[in-house]
């Protein structure tokens, strides 16, 4: 049995840090283990211009615990009024690493997102020209589509037509949750990759619904049937370079989760590497954990892999993680994988 594993320092290719007191309360859980992260722009108000992104980056760096080395990779929130020239200027400056497409109403703070993809085409065409990646929240939000089918319908009705129209556009399908998504990425010949979260490798929809409503397992895209979870596990542990880690770690204070209309989001930054080592060990794939967490993402985004390493150690006794973390904004419940975690970042 493997009891130690040294890998390149990982990156998180989909992260919510929020702002203000919440940002200050959670950023250390990421910067402790991760060297870089793609930062989601769905603040209130959202990060829509290069100037917004620069100011947000400054706030993130100011909140870093002393001595931590961490690089926030900034994104812009795509709207129907986004200026292609501003996007290109941000990209050319090295500040903007991607633009995020939120279908309006798809998730937290997405009401200002895109309703008519045609109105965003000037920006998307410019991105295809300059090689800037589009990150997509791959769900339709039309009320007639069942919430468990939103991803599959998005691929069929939005993503595939867009990629046929703009084959040069680089697209990251973020937080893939279905076998449909996995198969679509595997069938592509170029310019498509997918991030996979920690929690979607571990939970299916039973975790949310069986034995009572479990709000801390509720996220968007919502967890699906077991067949989809198994497809995600197979993709993540395969070594296929088109799949990589994007935790979608999304802190909400407990009162906003534990209520009649709770927020979507699961907080995994603090224990992701322990959870991933457990999953990859179960799949007899520890040798491919580095590819998923540390190598495939940088290669897709055109960045070098980190030179620093981290060491994972399998402890005889389970590793203790807090049930909640305290932030200046309030308490945040930590993801419970529902099994003991023996792997620890030494």
Q: Does 160 participate in catalysis according to the annotation?
A: no
Model pLDDT, residue 110: 67
- DSSP classification of residue 74: E
The annotation status of 200 as a binding-site residue, yes or no, is: no
Measured between alpha carbons, how far is 9 from 156 in angstroms, rounded to an integer?
Answer: 36
**Is the pLDDT score of 286 beyond 80?**
yes
Structure confidence at residue 103 (pLDDT): 85
pLDDT value of position 124: 98
Please give the pLDDT value at position 32.
Answer: 98
Q: Band of the pLDDT at 111, cuts 50, 70, 90?
A: confident
Flag whether pLDDT at 280 surpasses 80.
yes
The residue extents of the domains of the chain are 4-345
pLDDT at residue 106 greater than cutoff 70: no
CATH topology of domain 4-345: TIM Barrel (3.20.20)
pLDDT-based confidence at residue 109 (cuts at 50, 70, 90):
low
175 is in an annotated binding site: yes
Report the percent of the chain where pLDDT is more than 90.
Answer: 95
- Whether residue 137 is annotated as binding a ligand: the answer is yes
Decide: 262 and 256 in contact? Cβ < 8 Å. yes
Confidence of residue 112 (pLDDT cuts 50, 70, 90): confident
Mean per-residue pLDDT for 216-228? 98
Tell me the whole-structure pTM to 2 decimals. 0.97
Supply the mean pLDDT for the chain. Answer: 97
Q: How many C-beta atoms surround the C-beta of residue 118 within 10 A?
A: 10
* Pair of tokens at residue 176: 């893939």
Question: What pLDDT was estimated at residue 108?
Answer: 72
Q: What is the tens place of the pLDDT at every residue in 33-86?
A: 999 999 999 999 999 999 999 999 999 999 999 999 999 999 999 999 999 999
Residue 266's pLDDT band, with cuts at 50, 70 and 90, is very high
Query: Whole-angstrom Cα distance, residue 193 to residue 211?
Result: 36
Query: Is residue 220 marked as binding?
Result: yes
Q: Is 264 annotated as contributing to ligand binding?
A: yes
Quote helix, strand, coil % in the chain, to nearest 5: 40, 20, 45
Q: Which residues contact 128 (CB under 8 A, 6 or more apart)?
A: 166, 168, 169, 170
Q: Assess contact for 174 and 135: CB atoms under 8 A.
A: yes
| Pairing outcome for strands 171-174 and 96-101 | unpaired
Phi first, then psi, for residue 266 (nearest 5°) are -125, 135
Tokens of 67: 């001595």
Tell me the H-state helices in 38-83. 50-63
Mean pLDDT of 102-110: 74
Q: List, for residues 184-196, the tens digit of each pLDDT value.
A: 999 999 999 999 9
Residue 134 phi, psi dihedral angles, 5° rounding = -100, 120
Q: At what angle do helices 84-93 and 121-130 cross, to 10 degrees?
A: 30
Two structure tokens written together for 51: 């100037």
Q: According to the annotation, is 186 in a ligand binding site? A: no
What is the C-alpha to C-alpha distance for residues 336 and 14, in angstroms, rounded to an integer? Answer: 20
CA distance 47 to 75: 8
Across the range 82-108, mean pLDDT stands at 92
Give the active site residue among 248, 254, 284, 336. Answer: 248
Q: Check whether 143 has a pLDDT greater than 80.
A: yes
Find out whether 33 is annotated in a ligand binding site: no
Could you tell me the CA-to-CA distances from 317 to 276, 323, 344 in Å, in that order?
Answer: 17, 17, 11
By the 8 A CB rule, do 198 and 160 touch? no
Q: Quote the CA–CA distance of 214 and 220 in Å, as a whole number.
A: 14
198, 276 Cβ separation under 8 angstroms: yes
The pLDDT of residue 312 is above 70: yes
Q: Is 42 annotated as a binding residue?
A: yes
Mean pLDDT to the nearest integer, 288-312 = 98
Report the C-alpha gap between 162 and 154 in whole angstroms.
11
* Confidence at residue 154, expressed as pLDDT on a 0 to 100 scale: 97
């Amino acid at each position: 049995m493997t009891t130690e594993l040294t890998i390149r320092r990982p990156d998180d290719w989909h992260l919510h840090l929020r702002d203000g007191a919440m940002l200050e309360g959670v950023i250390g859980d990421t910067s402790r283990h991760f060297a870089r992260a793609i930062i989601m722009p769905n603040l209130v108000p959202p990060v829509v211009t290069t100037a917004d992104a620069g100011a947000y980056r400054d706030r993130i760096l100011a909140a870093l615990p002393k001595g931590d080395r961490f690089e926030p990779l900034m994104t812009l929130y795509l709207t129907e009024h986004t200026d292609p020239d501003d996007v290109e200027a941000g990209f050319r400056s090295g500040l903007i690493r991607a633009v995020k497409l939120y279908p309006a109403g798809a998730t937290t703070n997405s009401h200002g997102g895109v309703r008519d993809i045609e109105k965003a085409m000037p920006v998307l065409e410019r991105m295809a020209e300059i090689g800037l990646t589009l990150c997509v929240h791959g769900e339709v939000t039309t009320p007639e589509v069942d919430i468990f089918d939103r991803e599959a319908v998005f691929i069929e009705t939005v993503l595939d037509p867009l990629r046929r129209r703009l084959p040069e556009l680089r697209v990251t399908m973020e937080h893939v949750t279905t076998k449909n998504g996995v198969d679509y990425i595997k069938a592509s010949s170029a310019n498509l990759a997918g991030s996979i979260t920690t929690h979607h490798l571990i939970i299916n929809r039973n975790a949310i619904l069986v034995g009572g409503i479990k709000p801390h397992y509720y996220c968007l895209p919502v967890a699906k049937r077991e067949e989809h979870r198994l497809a995600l596990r197979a993709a993540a542990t395969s070594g296929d370079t088109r799949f990589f880690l994007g935790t979608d770690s999304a802190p909400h204070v407990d009162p906003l989760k534990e209520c009649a209309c709770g927020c979507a989001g699961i907080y995994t930054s603090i224990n992701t590497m322990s959870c991933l080592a457990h999953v990859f060990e179960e799949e007899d794939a520890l040798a491919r954990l580095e590819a998923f967490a540390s190598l495939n993402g940088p290669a897709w985004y055109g960045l070098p892999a980190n030179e620093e390493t981290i060491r994972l150690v399998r402890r005889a006794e389970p590793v203790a993680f807090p049930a909640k973390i305290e932030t200046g904004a309030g308490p945040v419940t930590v993801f419970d994988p529902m099994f003991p975690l023996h792997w620890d970042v030494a």
